[in-house]
Structure 1
Amino acid sequence: MISLAGVTNNLGKHSEAEKLLMEALDVAKTKLGMENQMTLSAMTRLAAVYYNQNRLSEAEHLQRQVIELYNFSLGLEHELTWTTQLNLAAILSKLGRIKESQQIELQILDLRKKRFGLKHDLTLTAMANLAAGYRVQKFWKEEESCLIQVVEGRKEVLGPLHPDTLISSQALGNNYFHQGKYEAAESILRQVVQARTLLRGKSHPSTMASLNSLARVLFDKGDREMAEVMQLQTIEQGIKTSGELNVAVLECKWHLALMYRSWNRLGDAKILLTDVFNARKAALDKDHPDLNRVAQQIEDIDLRLAKTVIDE
C-alpha cells in the first residue's frame, strides 16, 4: 500500500495516495509501533503527499515528527535521519523560509563531507540539494558554483553517462540559460541530449526534457524557427511512442505554448495550453498548482485576445 501510494502520488493523484497512506499508517502504528521503519516510511510518504498538495504546514509538522523519531531510534548521525532533515529543508524552502532550509542543507553537506569526503555520491547529492535551494532564490552564481562541482564530481565518481551526472549537467545548462549564457547553455545541453538519446532514445521523458530545455535556449538566442521545429518534432515523437497524455509531451506542449505567447502567436498558444489543461484536469486534483497555473495562462491569453479585438 505504501509503495502504491508513492506511485499514485508521483502520478499527481494525491488524494488517492493520501487515502492509501492513512490506512497503511493506521495499521502500522497499531501493529508495529511508531518507531518501526514501515511506520516512519508511511509518515515520510504522507508528508510528501501534503507537500505536493501545498499543505505545507501539515507536511512540516509531520516531517518534524519523523525526524524526532529517527533521532530517537537511529541517532543524530544516521543517514536516514539526515535524509529526513533534507526532506524538511525542501518543505521549508517551498514555504519561503529559505534561510532555515539552507541552514539544514549546509549542515548535512558538512556532515557528509566529514564522513564520506567530497567525492562521494551522498555528499554530491547534498551539494545538488543546496544548488536547488539557490535556484529557488534565483541566486544563479551560487547555484552555478555548486553545480560545476557536482557535475565534475559525478563524472569522476559515477561516470559521464550516469543518469545523476546527466541530471546535474541538465541543471547546469538550465542555469546558464537563466544567466543569459546561451552559448554555454547550448553546448552543455546538446551534450546531454546526445547522451540521453544514445542511452534512452529520443522519446524517453529525460531526453524530451533536455530537448525542451535546448529549444528554450535556441528560442531566446533568436533561433525561433529552429526552436519551434525542435519542439514540434519532440512532441510528435513523444505522441507516437507514449501518447497524447504523456507527462513529457504535455511539458513540451506547455513550453511551446509559452514560446508562441512571447512570439505573440496567441491563438496557437491557446490551442496548446487548452490541450495541456484538459489533460492535466483528468490526471490531477482540481486544486493542483500546475493545473491552476495553466488555467491562469489561458485566462491571460483570452484577455489579450479580447483587447486585440477591441483595439481593432
Structure 2
Amino acid sequence: MGGMAPPPDAHENSAHGTVSGQLVQAKDIHGDVTINVSSVPAAPASDVSLDPPRLATAVRGRDDLLTVLGDAMRAGAAVPHVLTGPGGFGKTTVAAALAERARSDGWTVFWIRPGSVTASMLEAAVEVGGSREEAERLRGTRHQAARWVWRHLDEAPRPWLLVIDNADRPEELDPDNRVGDQLGWMRASPGGFVLVTSRIDDPALWAPAEVHRVGELDARSATRALADHAGLPSLPGADVLAERLGGVPLALHLAGRILATHRVLFPDSNALLDRLASGIESLDDLAAPFVVGTDADRKLLSGVWELSLRLVAERDAYAAPLLRLLAVLGPEGKDIPLRRLPISELREGPFDGMDEAATARAVNALVVHGLVSVTTHQNETSLRLHPLVSETVRTALTEDDVPLLDEAEHLLEWQRDRDLDMESAALFMITMSRIRLHSQDKRSIGNSALKLIGAIEQVHLQALRTLVSVARTLLRLGSTSEAEEVLIGCVDAGTKSFGAHDATVMSARHFLAESRLYQDRLDDAEEAFRAVHADRARVFGGEHPDTLDSLYQLGLTALRRERWDEATEILGSVREKRARTSDEEDPLALLAAQNMAYVTMRRGDPAAAEPEFRHVHTTRKRDLGPDHHMTADAAYYVALARLEMGDAENALTWFTEVLRVWNAQLSQDHPQVAMVERSIAEAERAVARRPEAP
C-alpha cells in the first residue's frame, strides 16, 4: 500500500492578516507542548501636560477678582468656581495668576486642557498617589474612572488647585448630565479648589458653581497692560491705542508684542494706531509670525471669533448669521433694539424658517457664548456687541454675505428715522462693507468717509445709495457739516459714474441743498433746490414724491426768508398733491400742513394754528409712537402755540416732554435740543411773571 497522503497544506507554516497578541508557529511537533504566555503589557501612559501656562507680564485690572478667588481657595470652597466671558478677554490669564499664587503657597497645581480631560484627570490622580495600573485599567470606563479619580483627589496629602481651562464644550466634562450636577469631571472637593474657564456664560448650566464674568479691562489697566506687553516702562499714546482696542486683553497683548518686535516700523503707539485705521485685521497680520503652537487659533483675534462662531453654530444654525447681521447693525457698541429684528422681516436667506422660538434660541446662544450682551433702557430691551467683536466679525464677511447686507439695509429702512444714531453707524458700516467686498484691495478702505467716497466709482450703485442714506441720517442728527462733506463727494463721484440725472445722484443733490439750508446759506440752498426740482420734474413728473419733496424744501426756504405768501402757496400745493395721490396723513402732506400752520402763527394767529399742530401731533403719535423724534417735533409746535396764546404752564409741560424725547433720540448737543431748552427757559420766565391769584 502506498503511504497516507498528508492533509491539505499540512506543512504550510505562514500566517496571513493582522495578528493580535502572541503568535506560536510549530512544524512537525510530536508530544506534549506547553506554552507560557506573558501578561499583556500595559498601554503607555498618555502624554499629557498638567503644567499651567507661565505669565510673561503682570496681570492688570483683576486684583479684586483674584482676591475673591484666593479667599475662596484658602477657605475651602463648597462649590467649584467658573470664569466665563468671550474668547480673548483674559480668563486663562486670571486662572494662571491664581495658579502662581497657589504654587507659591505650596499647593499642587493641575492644569487640564480641552481634548485630553479624561487622560489628564487620571494623571492628576496618579500624581496624588493613585496606581498607574488602576488608572490604565479604568481609562475606558468613564463613570468608574471619575469616582476613582475624585476619591484620590479628595484624600490627597496636600492641597491642590485644579484648573479646567477652555471648557467651551461643557459636555466634555460630563456628556450624560448637566455639568453643574457635579457627577463628572467638575466637582467640589475637600482636597482642593476647582476652577473652570469657559466661554459659556450660562449660570443655569454651571449652578451651583459660583460664576465670575471676565470682561474687558478698564482704561487705566488696559493702558498699563499695553505698556507691559511692549516691554516699556511707559508708552506715549498707549491710552488712545488701548481705547481703540476696546480694552480686550488679547488685542492688547498682540499690539504690545508688535510694538516690542517691530520698533523700527512702529516706534510709538500712534504709528500702530495709524496702521489700524485700515482695519483691525492689520493686528492679526502683523502678529501672525510670532503666534505658534497647537492652539494658535486662540491666539489671534480672527481665530478667537472664528472658534466662537464654530462653537455657537454647533448649537444653533441661526446664531452665526444672526451674529453677522448684528455686527453690521450694531457697530461701535451701538444698542440694537429687539424691535428692529421683527420675525416678519427676517424670513429670507439664512433666516428662512426662523420663528419666535428659534430667534430666542439664537439670541440666547450668542449671549451665553459672550458674543452679545442684553441691555435694558427705558423699558426697552436691546442687544449690544463689543466694538472689537463686531469689527472682527465684519472683517470676515465675504461676497457670500452680500444678501446679509441687503437684509440689514432692509431692516433699517423698515423703521427709518426711529433710532438715528444707530441707523447712521449701521448704514456707514454697510457702505464700507459693500465697497470692501467689491474692491480689488480688500483692506485699503478703512473707516474713513472720504476713503469710502473715493472708492465709490469702483463699486455698484447700491453703495452710493447707502452712503447717501448715511448723509441723510447725519442731517437728521444735526451733523450738518459732516453730512455736507459726504454729500459733496457723493455728488461728484455719482455724477462722474452715473450722470447728474440718476435718481441716487439727484437724492444726493437734494440732501446737499438741505445741508446748506440748515446752515442758513439760503441763496445756495434755494438755487440748488430749484435745479434738482426741475430735474426731478423732468425725469419723474411733477407729482412724484421726490419731485414734491424738493418743492416742499423750496417752500421751507421761502418760509425761512419770511416770504409768507410764497411759502403758503408752495406748501399748500405740496399738501394738496400728496393728499390727492396718497392721503392727507401722508408724511410729506403733514410736514406741509405743519409749516403752513407755522406761517399762520407767525402772522399773529396762534389760536388758529394750534389745532393744525395738534392734528399733526395726534397722527404722528398714532403712526410713529410717542417717543419718535418727529412726534416730539409736532409737540414742540403745539407748545409754541400755547406759549404764544399766553398758556405758559401748559406750554412748559409740552416743552418738557419734547426735551425728554429729543435728548434720547437726537443727543444732548443737537441744535433742536438747544432750541427747546431756550423755549423752556422762556416758558419758565413767563410762569414766574404771572401774578399770583388773590
Q: What TM-score, normalized by structure 2, do the two folds share?
A: 0.36
Matched, 1:19 2:384: yes
CA distance in structure 2 between the aligned counterparts of 1:29 and 1:302, rounded to whole angstroms? 49
Higher mean alpha-carbon deviation, 71-80 vs 251-260, is at 71-80
Q: Which residue of 2 aligns with 1:72?
A: 439
Structure 1 letter corresponding to 2:685:
R
Q: Deviations over 1:266-306 (max 9, x none)?
A: 1231243355567x49x956967789669736752563145
Contact 2:337 2:381 in 1 (8 A): no
Structure 2 letter corresponding to 1:69:
R
Matched, 1:142 2:524: yes
Q: CA deviation at 1:187?
A: 0.7
2:420 pairs, out of 36, 41, 52, with 52
CA distance in structure 2 between the aligned counterparts of 1:200 and 1:61, rounded to whole angstroms? 32
Q: CA deviation at 1:7?
A: 9.2
Q: Which residue of 1 aligns with 2:284?
A: none
Structure 2 letter corresponding to 1:118:
A
1:152 pairs, out of 534, 544, 551, with 534
Q: Deviations over 1:196-239 (max 9, x none)?
A: 22233223433222211111122223343432343344456x38
Contact 2:625 2:631 in 1 (8 A): yes
Structure 2 letter corresponding to 1:200:
S
Structure 2 letter corresponding to 1:163:
P
Structure 1 letter corresponding to 2:436:
L
CA distance in structure 1 between the aligned counterparts of 2:683 and 2:657, rounded to whole angstroms? 15
Higher mean alpha-carbon deviation, 81-90 vs 172-181, is at 81-90
Higher mean alpha-carbon deviation, 167-176 vs 100-109, is at 100-109
Contact 1:112 1:123 in 2 (8 A): yes
Contact 1:144 1:172 in 2 (8 A): yes
CA distance in structure 2 between the aligned counterparts of 1:128 and 1:216, rounded to whole angstroms? 23
Higher mean alpha-carbon deviation, 63-72 vs 254-263, is at 63-72
Distance verdict in 2 for CA 1:97–1:263, change over 3 Å: same
1:178 pairs, out of 554, 560, 572, with 560
Which consecutive residues of structure 2, in runs of 5 or more, have no partner in the other structure? 1-321, 330-335, 342-376, 443-454
Structure 2 letter corresponding to 1:300:
A
Q: Which residue of 2 aligns with 1:245?
A: 626
What is the percentage of aligned positions where both structures have the same residue?
A: 17
Structure 1 letter corresponding to 2:562:
G
Q: Which residue of 2 aligns with 1:303?
A: 684
Structure 1 letter corresponding to 2:493:
L
Contact 1:202 1:208 in 2 (8 A): yes
Structure 2 letter corresponding to 1:19:
R
Distance verdict in 2 for CA 1:209–1:9, change over 3 Å: farther
Higher helix fraction: Structure 1 or Structure 2? Answer: 1
CA distance in structure 2 between the aligned counterparts of 1:163 and 1:7, rounded to whole angstroms? 31
Which consecutive residues of structure 1, in runs of 5 or more, have no partner in the other structure? none
Q: Deviations over 1:66-115 (max 9, x none)?
A: 486256259641234434554665688768682x6545423332333334
Distance verdict in 2 for CA 1:114–1:7, change over 3 Å: farther
RMSD: 5.0
Higher mean alpha-carbon deviation, 201-210 vs 145-154, is at 201-210
Contact 2:427 2:469 in 1 (8 A): no
Distance verdict in 2 for CA 1:60–1:251, change over 3 Å: closer
Contact 1:32 1:39 in 2 (8 A): no
Higher mean alpha-carbon deviation, 186-195 vs 219-228, is at 219-228
CA distance in structure 2 between the aligned counterparts of 1:142 and 1:33, rounded to whole angstroms? 42
Q: What TM-score, normalized by structure 1, do the two folds share?
A: 0.70
- When Rg is computed on C-alpha atoms for both structures, the one with the higher figure is 2
Higher mean alpha-carbon deviation, 286-295 vs 110-119, is at 286-295
Aligned residues: 303
CA distance in structure 2 between the aligned counterparts of 1:171 and 1:260, rounded to whole angstroms? 26
Contact 2:468 2:507 in 1 (8 A): no
Secondary structure of 1:226's counterpart equals helix
Q: CA deviation at 1:176?
A: 1.2
Distance verdict in 2 for CA 1:115–1:126, change over 3 Å: same
What are the within-5 Å matches in structure 2 for residues 1-312 of structure 1? Answer: 2=325, 8=339, 19=384, 29=394, 32-33=397-398, 36-37=401-402, 52-53=420-421, 66=433, 69=436, 72=439, 76-77=456-457, 78=459, 79-83=461-465, 85-86=467-468, 98=481, 101-235=483-617, 238=619, 242=623, 245=626, 247=628, 250-274=632-656, 276=658, 280=661, 284=664, 296=677, 299-301=680-682, 303-309=684-690
Structure 1 letter corresponding to 2:585:
S
CA distance in structure 1 between the aligned counterparts of 2:546 and 2:468, rounded to whole angstroms? 18
Higher strand fraction: Structure 1 or Structure 2? Answer: 2
